[in-house]
Amino acid sequence: MCKINFDFLISHAKVYGFIFPSSEIYGGLNAVYDYGPHGVELKNNIKKFWWKSMTQLHENIIGLDSSIIMHSDVWHASGHVDKFNELLIDNKDSKKRYRPEILIQEYVEKNFLNNPKKKEEILSRLFQSLQNQNLGELKILIDELCICDPIFKTKNWTEIRHFNMMYKIKNEKDLYLRPETAQGIFSNFHNILKSTRIKIPFGIAQIGKSFRNEIFARKFIFRMREFEQMEMQYFILPEEEIKWYEYWRKNRLKWHLELNLENKQSYKLCDHDHLAHYENVGSDIEFHFPFGFKEIEGIHSRRDFDLKNHEFFSKKKLRIFESKRNYIPYVIETSLGLDRLFLAIFSSSLKKEKLKNGKIRVVLKFPYYLSPIQAAIFPLVRKDGLPEIAKKIFYDLKIHHRLVYDEKESIGKLYRRQDAIGTPFCFTVDYDTIKTDTVTMRNRDSMKQKRIYIKEISNIIEQETGLKKIFKKLSYFI
Ligand code: ATP
C-alpha cells in the first residue's frame, strides 16, 4: 500500500467527477465546492443511509425539511445574533484574517513539540482567556510568542474583536441564511406535536444546507461557507437529560464505527471544554482526517434553551401538556456534517496499491452500499454480438440498480476506471456467455473473478450492495 497525500486526494476527487471548485471558470471561490456526477451519487447515498438509520430504524424519530430563510426573531431567540461569534484578528500587511486561538494553537503545536510543560502552560493561558473572553490577554499571548502572519511573516496585527458568523441577506432587514438547521426544528415543534401526536421521548431529524462566514476556511470540504448538516433533536423529560445524553454519545459513535472506515483508532470521543452558547454539556466525535483528528459530529445537551427562548419571543406555548404536568422538554442534539462525513469516507477509502506486476492501481474502497455506482456491465470485445448481450443485461437491470455500461476501452482499462470511482462489481460478457448464459464477476477489492449465471446478477447486486446487511447490524443497538 502506498501513502496518499492530500493534494493527490483533491486532484483525484476532481479528475473522477467527485468534487469541483465552485465557479472554477471564473477563478473559483474560497471555501465553496460543487459535487460532480459521482460526488452527488455518493453524497445522496450517505444522506439516504443516515436518514433511514435515523427515521426508519427508530420508531420515534420523524423527519422535517424546513426553510433556509426564517423570521429574524428566530435568530434573536436562538442567541445567534448576539452570540454566534468567532474571534478575529487581521494582519495589516497581508490583509488576511485569522482566528487568534488557532494561530496560537498551531504555533504551540509546531514550536513546543519537545517542551510539553511550556506547551501546557500556554494552552492553559489560552483556555483561561477564552473562558473569560479576555481579548487583551489573547493579544498579549500573540505578541509575547512573536507569532507572525503565516504568509507575509510580519507581526503587524490589529486588535482582536468579535465577528458574527451569520450571512445577512442584503437589502432584507434582519434576514439571515441559517447557520444551523436545528432552529427549523424548534420553530416547528408545536406543529409537529399537533400533527403527529407523537409522545416524549421523540426525535426530529433534518438534512439541509447551512451557511457560516468562516474566517479560517481551509482544508478542502472540511470547512466550507455553504455546507450540509444532518441533525436530530431528541426531546426528553428534563430529569432524563444525562441518561439520553450518554445514550446518544454512545449510539452515534457505534454508528460511525459500523461504517468500518480504517479502524477503531480513527475515532475519538472528546468532551467539550469550551461550550457553545446554547449547550449544557457536549462532546465531539472526532475522526482522523488526513490533516489529523478533527470534529465530524457534535452531541450536545441544549436543555430547554431554545424552546424557552422561542416561547418568550413568540409568546406561544412550546411545551408538553400531560395529565398532571406541563413542561418544556429538554433536548439532546446530534449534529453531523454531511460534507465532513463525505471527506472521512473518501479519504479513508482512497488507496494506492502496488500490484504483483509492479504497477500501481488507485482504488476507492467505499463501503459497498455507499458506492456511487453499484456495478458495471462490459462486453469483453466490441464485436461478435457481445455488446448486444451486455446492453440487454444493462437495460433489464438498470431499473433496479445504479449501473453503468461501458465499452469504450480495453477490459483492463475499464476495470481500472471502475476501481478509481469505487464500483464494487464488474460483470463482463465474453464468448462463453453465448454458450453458457454466464458472465465473469470481478470484485473491486480482491480483484478476483468468478463465473456466475446472468440470472444471478440482480440478486448478487442487491445482497452485496444494498442497505439490508448494514441495517441488520445497526438494528441490534438501535
Ligand atoms: P468547528 O468547531 O469545526 O467549527 P462546530 O463545533 O462549530 O465545528 P457545530 O456547530 O457543532 O460545529 O456543527 C455541527 C457539525 O456541522 C460539525 O460537527 C461539522 O461536522 C459540521 N460543520 C460545522 N461547520 C462546518 C463548516 N464550516 N463546513 C463543513 N461542515 C461544518
Comparison of pLDDT for 2 and 456, the residue scoring more: 456
pLDDT tens digits along 351-363:
999 999 999 999 9
Q: Rounded to whole angstroms, how far apart are CA atoms 468 and 478?
A: 15
Q: Does 85-164 carry CATH code 3.40.50.1100?
A: no
Q: Band of the pLDDT at 388, cuts 50, 70, 90?
A: very high
Q: Rounded to whole angstroms, how far apart are CA atoms 272 and 285?
A: 10
Q: Band of the pLDDT at 285, cuts 50, 70, 90?
A: very high
If you average pLDDT over residues 431-436, what whole number do you get? Answer: 97
What's residue 7's pLDDT? 96
If you average pLDDT over residues 66-83, what whole number do you get? Answer: 96
Output the residue whose Cα is nearest ligand 1's atom 20.
337
For the domain spanning 366-470, the CATH number is 3.40.50.800
SS3 assignment, position 269: strand
Ligand 1 atom nearest to CA at 284: 18
461: phi > 0 → left, psi -120 to 50 → alpha, else beta; which? alpha
* Residue 28 pLDDT greater than 80, yes or no: yes
Q: Rounded to whole angstroms, how far apart are CA atoms 183 and 197?
A: 21
pLDDT tens digits along 113-150:
888 999 999 999 999 998 888 999 999 999 999 999 98
Name the residue of 102, 105, 227 to mutate for ligand 1: max ligand atoms within 8 A of Cβ.
227
Ligand 1 atom nearest to CA at 335: 14
If you average pLDDT over residues 431-450, what whole number do you get? Answer: 97
Which residues are near ligand 1 (CB < 6 Å)?
212, 214, 223-224, 227, 229, 295-298, 335-337, 339-340
Bridge-based pairing of strands 320-322 and 97-98 is unpaired
Residues forming a β-bridge with 363: 351
Q: Rounded to whole angstroms, how far apart are CA atoms 143 and 395?
A: 68
Comparison of pLDDT for 6 and 3, the residue scoring more: 6
- C-alpha of residue 466 to centroid of ligand 1, in Å: 30
Q: Band of the pLDDT at 218, cuts 50, 70, 90?
A: confident
Ligand 1 atom nearest to CA at 282: 11
If you average pLDDT over residues 172-195, what whole number do you get? Answer: 95
Output the residue whose Cα is nearest ligand 1's atom 16.
337
**Of all helices (H) and strands (E), which one includes residue 204?**
strand 202-211
Q: Rounded to whole angstroms, how far apart are CA atoms 412 and 398?
A: 23
- Can you give the C-alpha Rg of the chain in angstroms? 26
What's residue 133's pLDDT? 87
Comparison of pLDDT for 258 and 3, the residue scoring more: 258
Q: Rounded to whole angstroms, how far apart are CA atoms 107 and 113?
A: 10
Q: Rounded to whole angstroms, how far apart are CA atoms 182 and 68?
A: 11
* Residue 48 pLDDT greater than 80, yes or no: yes
Domain boundaries along the sequence of the chain: 6-81+165-346, 85-164, 366-470
If you average pLDDT over residues 381-392, what whole number do you get? Answer: 97
- Confirm if 45 and 421 have CB atoms less than 8 A apart: no
Q: Rounded to whole angstroms, how far apart are CA atoms 64 and 229?
A: 13
Q: Rounded to whole angstroms, how far apart are CA atoms 224 and 337?
A: 11
* Residue 476 pLDDT greater than 80, yes or no: no
Name the residue of 85, 295, 306 to mutate for ligand 1: max ligand atoms within 8 A of Cβ.
295
- Confirm if 336 and 296 have CB atoms less than 8 A apart: yes
If you average pLDDT over residues 38-47, what whole number do you get? Answer: 98
Q: 6-81+165-346 sits in which CATH class?
A: alpha beta
If you average pLDDT over residues 158-162, what whole number do you get? Answer: 95
Same fold, 6-81+165-346 and 85-164: no
CA angle 75, 48, 255 (to 5 degrees): 85
Q: Band of the pLDDT at 196, cuts 50, 70, 90?
A: very high
CB-based contacts of 129, cutoff 8 Å, min separation 6: 135, 137, 138, 141
If you average pLDDT over residues 450-475, what whole number do you get? Answer: 95
